[in-house]
Amino acid sequence: MIWAIYFAIASLLAIGIYGVITKKNLMKIFISISIMETGVNLMLIAIGYIPGGTAPIENGDFTTYVDPLPQALVLTAIVIGVSVLALALVMVINYYEKNKTLEYRRLMKW
Amino acid sequence: MVIHPVLLIAIPLLFAFLMPLLKRAKAVTIIILLFNTLLAILMFHNVYNNGPLYEIIAFSPPIGIYLYVDNIAALLAVMINLLAFINFLSVEKVEIKFAMLYLLAVASSTGIVITGDIFNMFVFFEIAAVSSYALVAWKRDKEALEGAIKYMVLGSIASVLMLVGIAFLYSEFRSLNIYDIMNRMDEGSVLILLSFAFLLTGIGVEAEIFPLNGWVPDAYQGAAGSIASLLSFGPSKAGIYAIARLLMIFSWQQSYDLALSVGIMTLLIGELAAFRQENVKRMLAYSSIGQMGLILISLSMLDSTDYAIIAFFFLLVSHAASKGALFLLSERKGFGSNASKYAGIVSVMSLIGMPPMAGFWGKWYIIMGAMQMEAWWIIAAIVFSSVVEAAYFARYLSTTMQEEEHASIIAAYPPAIMATLTLLLGILPFIYKIATIGGVING
Amino acid sequence: MIFMYIIMGILAISIFLGAYRLLKGPSASDRAVALDALTNITTALLVLIAYLSERFIYLDVALVYAILAFVGVIAIARYLEGGL
Amino acid sequence: MIESIIAWVMALLAFIAAVYAVEAKDLLSSAISVGIASLVVSILFLMLHAPDVAITEASIGAGLTMAIFVYSIGRTERWEK
Amino acid sequence: MSSETKSIPYLAVVLLLIWLGFVYQPGISMQSFIQELFVGIIVAVAVTILTHRHFEGLGVAYFHPRRVAYFIAFFFVFLWEMVKANLNMARIVLSPELPIKPGIVKVSTSLKQPAAKLFLGNAITLTPGTLTIDYDDGGAYIHWVEVKDEDMGRAGEIIKGRFERLLRGVFS
Amino acid sequence: MIEDILHYIGMAFVFVGSLFFLLGTIGLIRMPDLYNRMQASTKTTTLGVLSFLVGVGLMELQWMIKLLIIALFVVLTAPVGASALARASYNAGIKLWEKSVVDKYKEREEK
Amino acid sequence: MRRMAGIVLAALLFACIMYAFTFVKTYDYNSSDYYYTDPIEGGKVNETVTGHYIENTKNETGAINAVTAIVVEYRGFDTLGEVTVLFTASTGVSMLLYSLHQRRKRREANLILKEGSKIVLPFILLTGAYIFIHGHLTPGGGFPGGSVIASGFLLMMVAYPKYFLKESRVSITESVAGMIFVLIGMLGLVFASYFLENFLSLGDVGRLFSAGIIPIIYIAIGFKVGAELSGIMNNLKGVEE
């Protein structure tokens, strides 16, 4: 099971970086970044997974729990992701108002 | 007297939250920055006399988070808060949102420097980055937006890569405390190497090192003068300090070599690119990149020579102060009043590395260190870059000296104060003493 | 246990049929319909996972999902008819 | 074992949705695909026994992210050229 | 005091009931249940205060036993219709030649209150084969998979079935 | 004893629910136009969810209350989304299937 | 060219991450390989970080949900930072959209959506309140609860062209909630010894009124997150005068 999730993580990250590099459309770029963020969140959780463990909420008689720390980190990361996404898209709206296009050609220019 | 470094972060956050209710944005911000500066100086005094300071938050580390303040962190905290205070004086029209974002950027840069936990550092990086995005776009014109968007794309990718690095690091050590990780670090497994690579890439975006600094010229060009100044002494300095800590965590020869080669590339490319620029802010931005390369070179010698740490101190402080002054001046066409002229000339001299200034001592000690290591090509690179720097700054001075533009006193004095700081730091043996007595970058 | 495998097989086929409509659907509305169908399947799947893990509290996820899933569809719908 | 079936199905679905989100010419369809990817990931979170994260991802991914995308598409343009 | 202002406390009661459903856990102790009840009352009242203004003009009336009875009847009729229609839909989907005859018909309704219209529309939507698209003053526009009759009255009789009568009982 | 019987009934409900999912998605593939797809998919899968939830509730009786609340939420929200999407698609210009027999909605007076 | 570069880099990243995963060891939080060193005292301690959380969450914080305990107590400082990121983003959004208010003709929704969202709204708010009040007992907490509440207001904004939240109320809510968070942290500094340390009694573990400051902070976070996300949505919709 864990390898399925590893596959999902790696593909989400790879597809995200592919999108960021190849696309010129700003909305697409930020969509790709949000996909990458999803991937990395999944990655942290997968690293905290312990086979046979259950959620670290201790009501009931369980013996093994998964690692709670990455879950707390991912909670943080998800909210950071959504707030950065909102700010980014608002900037895209501003950019569109000024230029009447979503194409952004200067990204690769160093 | 007990000093709580956490107040350096908590107070600005509290007042940033309260700003919409308080309304008097300018006065409140100035008071808080002043308070922070004083607190940081007090903290520095304490650390300088009594050794490193801890502040546990909620639970003792590594179960909880703690702040760890050693000499250099305290000095950086003083520097960031003091320069932020001076810089804020130059802003004439303060809106509430501007003040909020400014406070958050300052507080988070301080946080990056004094935190002792790697994920906490990531969170502060995010605050710094998000507030910088908004501040860069503050003018809302075409240039500002383009710069902000470029910064944002690279910054978001950087945050993802940093998280990947943290994930690998965590999977190896199952702890997030920097000191704990450093203690348990032995020969690098694949995961640790990968995590180093990802973390370096992630932080490198913020610290403006070579292949990742595409955003720098655009963002600095788009931002207003005071904001560009804030970026150059706030988040980016915190970022380079984070890289220093990273190098201390992963202290292998290979990582120092990597830092050295990246540093030299950054230095040369930055200075050469600055030479080609017409736009003043762009030129200053590229020059910043070059200086970051210089700082990185000094970091890469940490393991081999004692001069490195002194050079690091000098370069960091002098570059922050003088670049801050120049960015403030870049808002206007020419220097205008005498105070501005003085500020411009002193800052430029410090950046080039003229003898009495702090910048000179930075370069001097790097060269000393390189001579000790017998790495002549480092010296060659530094000398060459200084020549290039001298060339384009001469051109800069020759154009700006001629043009006169009347500036109000409020706009003229902050850069002059910053320049005076550079001058004083060069003349007084203050930094040298700190660096030789307690200059150990701890994790 | 074999029962759960059958259920899972049926759900997997349904999910892939939904994904096919997502890829194929000529208009964005068709994709939104696919999303709607997939959210329903997801709610069921969340409950199924809670059942398989034998934890009552996992149902909260399904609860939140059940009441919020339609907000996204409605946002798309309002965009399509120009009411946003 | 039964979990690994769900996991592989979900991983494949995440892959499909992500590829489609990046490649589609219609940005609205991209946003829908991102929504599906986040839904899938929320199931995976629950399978990895992280209900807190799953609940957060569900509540943010289901409505808010989609709405942010749709609003900004509404204020810019829908088709990628 | 109109019937609508009277109905507001019932909103709080319904919310409190749902809250109790939320907090019920296997093996919950009496003491925590009392604490939950206490907090539940606060939350239900707060949410009611926050949202009651949306319920004015909606036509949600207070709970009379007769209404509740009608509502339960409506619910079961609805469930039964739903299952029946779903089986019908299964037949359509699975038969190879796809025996459908779709179209949008208009159905008039005598229901006045928005809430009643909403429940009628939702009931129609949830029975597969029919889908409420829009309401206007004259009635509802309904997409129908097998159009049996295009006329407003007879189509309405087939689609609305017993729903309308029961709903009138609930809301009048 | 009685719990065993309920457990088997619950399994039957779960099975029926997943069959409804399958039906819904087959309808999603087979139907010719958007509105018919919606008819087949959203509603059928909604009944699928209900049946599934009740089934799990019967298998694990203590969970029944919360599952019923989830079912209530699904019933409350699903038709709203479907109806809004249908109207929006019509207004956005998505045509009915060409073999449709009647379209009264086209003749309405636009407000 | 660009496409090739993208494919190559993506493949490289994919391979790199998959390769790295082959080295990820299964974690056993009782194993001595992961015993930590104490950064302040120095020297190894005979427990792992995760082991500590799992063993001691109930006694030290009074919360059943270890994730909540970590988010609010053990690593509460991260959470403060995270709330600040959201706050910064919402400030940035309102700043950037300030000049872009536009009047648009928006089509009314149909009756079912209008009345349906009125009916659903209280339930969404109730769910959100349930999620963030029960953060220490069940999954969830301030962030999901806040975003559920924001989704409720979002639903109204989507359904009604003329529905807007009052800017001032949103900003007062976020200011006050943020202030409560920081002040509770400072009270920890005053009444206990550390910032954000618990200074209330832990109560009976497992009850609603337990776990000291955790529910209070989570409620504050819930309000703050809810206000900020709804504020962002409000601004995105475009404020009408």
In chain G, the residue whose alpha carbon lies closest to the alpha carbon of F85 is: G113
Q: Could you give the angle at the alpha carbon of B113 between the alpha carbons of B111 and B116, nearest 5°? A: 80
**What is the per-residue pLDDT for E76?**
86
Whether G and D touch (3+ CB pairs < 8 Å), yes or no: yes
C-alpha dihedral, B13 to B17 to B19 to B25, nearest 10°? 20
**For the residues B168-193, what does the mean pLDDT come to?**
84
Q: Which of E61, E78, E107 is the last residue of a domain?
A: E61
pLDDT at A20 exceeding the cut of 80: yes
In chain A, the residue whose alpha carbon lies closest to the alpha carbon of D43 is: A42
Residues E72 and E142 in one domain: yes
φ/ψ of A56, rounded to 5, equals -75, 55
pLDDT at B443 exceeding the cut of 50: no
- Using DSSP bridges, classify how beta strands F102-103 and E103-108 pair: parallel, antiparallel or unpaired: parallel
Q: What residues of E are in contact with residue G64 (Cβ under 8 Å)?
A: none
Name the minimum distance, in Å, from the CA of G44 to any CA of chain B: 10
Which of D46, D69, D71, D79 should one mutate to test binding to chain C, selecting the residue with the greatest count of C CBs within 10 A? Answer: D46
Distance CA D81, CA B222 (A): 27
- What ipTM, to 2 d.p.? 0.93
Looking at the DSSP assignment, which residues form a beta bridge with residue B117?
B177
Task: Tell me which chains share at least 3 CB pairs under 8 Å with chain F.
Answer: C, E, G
DSSP one-letter code for B66: E
Rg of the Cα trace of chain G?
Answer: 23
Looking at the DSSP assignment, which residues form a beta bridge with residue B68?
B54
DSSP string, G113-176: HHHHHHHHHHHHHHHHHHHHHTTTTSS--HHHHHHHHHHHHHHHHHH-TT----HHHHHHHHHH
Read off the tokens for G139.
């999954």
Task: Read off the pLDDT band of B330 (50, 70, 90).
Answer: confident
Tens-digit pLDDT profile for residues B73-92: 888 888 889 988 988 888 87
pLDDT at E129 exceeding the cut of 80: no
Distance CA B77, CA B237 (A): 10
- The answer to whether the beta carbons of residues B251 and B257 sit under 8 Å apart is no
Looking at the DSSP assignment, which residues form a beta bridge with residue A65?
A54
In chain C, the residue whose alpha carbon lies closest to the alpha carbon of F12 is: C3
Residues E7 and E52 in one domain: yes
Residue with more model confidence, C6 or F31: C6
**What is the per-residue pLDDT for G241?**
47
**What is the per-residue pLDDT for F111?**
47
- Which conformational region is residue G42 in: left (phi greater than 0), alpha (psi within -120 to 50 degrees), or beta? left
Half-sphere exposure of residue G154: CA atoms within 13 angstroms, side-chain side: 37
- The answer to whether the beta carbons of residues G197 and G61 sit under 8 Å apart is no
pLDDT at E155 exceeding the cut of 80: no
Residue C57 sits at the chain E interface (C-beta within 8 Å): yes
> How many domains does chain E fold into?
2
Residues E110 and E42 in one domain: no
Listed residue (A9, C64, A23, C25) closest to D37, CA to CA: A9
DSSP string, B167-223: HHHHHHHS--BHHHHHHH--S--HHHHHHHHHHHHHHHHHHT-GGG-THHHHHHHHS
- The answer to whether the beta carbons of residues F89 and F34 sit under 8 Å apart is yes
Distance CA B216, CA C29 (A): 42
Residues E76 and E138 in one domain: yes
DSSP string, B118-143: HHHHHHHHHHHHHHHHHHHGGG-SHH
Report the length, in residues, of chain F.
111
Longest dimension (CA), chain E: 62
Could you give the percent of chain G with pLDDT greater than 90?
2
- By Cβ distance, the residue of C23, C42, C69 closest to D16 is C23
List Cβ neighbours of B399 (8 Å cut-off, separation of 6 or more). Answer: none
Which of E32, E133, E143, E171 should one mutate to test binding to chain G, selecting the residue with the greatest count of G CBs within 10 A? Answer: E32
Q: Could you give the angle at the alpha carbon of F40 between the alpha carbons of E114 and F93, nearest 5°? A: 70
Task: Read off the pLDDT band of G209 (50, 70, 90).
Answer: confident
Residues E123 and E134 in one domain: yes
| Contacting B residues, span 98-117, partner chain G, CB-CB under 8 Å | 100-101, 104, 108, 111, 116
The parent domain of residue G85 ranges over 64-237
**For the residues G153-172, what does the mean pLDDT come to?**
86
Which of A10-14, A60-64, C68-72, F75-79 is the least confident region? A60-64
Which range among A98-107, B52-61, E130-139, F5-14 has the greatest average pLDDT? Answer: F5-14
Which range among B42-46, E141-145, G38-42 has the greatest average pLDDT? Answer: B42-46
In a domain, D79, yes or no: no
Please classify residue G87 by burial: count the beta carbons closer than 10 Å to its beta carbon, then call 0-12 exposed, 13-18 middle and 19+ buried. buried
Could you give the percent of chain A with pLDDT greater than 70?
95
| Contacting A residues, span 30-89, partner chain C, CB-CB under 8 Å | 54-55, 57, 59-60
CB contact under 8 A, E121 and G133: no
**What is the per-residue pLDDT for A14?**
92
**What is the per-residue pLDDT for E25?**
80
**What is the per-residue pLDDT for E4?**
54
Looking at the DSSP assignment, which residues form a beta bridge with residue E144?
E103, E130
> How many domains does chain G fold into?
1
Instruction: Identify the residue whose tokens are 């929320």.
Output: D42
Task: Tell me which chains share at least 3 CB pairs under 8 Å with chain E.
Answer: C, F, G
CB contact under 8 A, B13 and G178: yes
Tens-digit pLDDT profile for residues B231-277: 888 888 888 888 888 888 888 888 888 888 888 888 888 888 888 88
Could you give the percent of chain B with pLDDT greater than 90?
5
In chain D, the residue whose alpha carbon lies closest to the alpha carbon of C37 is: D36
Could you give the percent of chain B with pLDDT greater than 70?
93
**What is the per-residue pLDDT for E60?**
63
- By Cβ distance, the residue of A4, A15, A92 closest to D11 is A4
- The answer to whether the beta carbons of residues G205 and G125 sit under 8 Å apart is no
Distance CA G51, CA G53 (A): 5
**What is the per-residue pLDDT for E23?**
84
Tens-digit pLDDT profile for residues E15-60: 888 888 888 887 777 888 888 888 888 888 888 888 878 777 666 6
pLDDT at E152 exceeding the cut of 80: no
List Cβ neighbours of E56 (8 Å cut-off, separation of 6 or more). Answer: E4, E5
**DSSP SS3 for F4:** helix
**For the residues B170-190, what does the mean pLDDT come to?**
83
- Using DSSP bridges, classify how beta strands B65-69 and E139-144 pair: parallel, antiparallel or unpaired: unpaired
**What is the per-residue pLDDT for B333?**
67
Tens-digit pLDDT profile for residues A55-73: 888 777 788 888 888 999 9
Distance CA E132, CA E149 (A): 16
Residue C48 sits at the chain F interface (C-beta within 8 Å): yes
Distance CA B323, CA B216 (A): 14
**What is the per-residue pLDDT for A33?**
92
pLDDT at A101 exceeding the cut of 60: yes
Residue with more model confidence, G62 or B411: G62
The parent domain of residue F30 ranges over 2-110
Please classify residue B429 by burial: count the beta carbons closer than 10 Å to its beta carbon, then call 0-12 exposed, 13-18 middle and 19+ buried. exposed
**What is the per-residue pLDDT for G11?**
92
pTM of the predicted model as reported, rounded to 2 decimal places: 0.93
The parent domain of residue E49 ranges over 3-61
Residue with more model confidence, G142 or B333: G142
Looking at the DSSP assignment, which residues form a beta bridge with residue B66?
B56
Tens-digit pLDDT profile for residues E95-115: 888 777 888 888 887 777 777
**What is the per-residue pLDDT for A51?**
86
> How many domains does chain D fold into?
1
Q: What residues of F are in contact with residue C29 (Cβ under 8 Å)?
A: 34, 85, 88-89, 92, 94
Read off the tokens for C13.
């086929």
Which of F26, F37, F85 should one mutate to test binding to chain C, selecting the residue with the greatest count of C CBs within 10 A? Answer: F85
Q: Which CATH number does A2-55+63-99 carry?
A: 1.10.287.3510
Listed residue (B241, B281, B287) closest to B268, CA to CA: B287
Task: Read off the pLDDT band of A31 (50, 70, 90).
Answer: very high
Read off the tokens for E168.
């009138």
In a domain, D80, yes or no: no
- Using DSSP bridges, classify how beta strands E139-144 and E130-136 pair: parallel, antiparallel or unpaired: antiparallel
Task: Read off the pLDDT band of B306 (50, 70, 90).
Answer: confident
Tens-digit pLDDT profile for residues C24-37: 878 888 888 888 88
E&F contacts, CB < 8 Å: 129
Could you give the percent of chain C with pLDDT greater than 90?
0
Q: Where are the alpha helices (DSSP H) in B277-375?
A: 280-300, 307-329, 338-352, 358-373
Distance CA F47, CA F64 (A): 17
Q: What residues of C are in contact with residue F67 (Cβ under 8 Å)?
A: 47, 59
Q: In the structure, how many helices (H) and strands (E) does chain C have? A: 3, 0
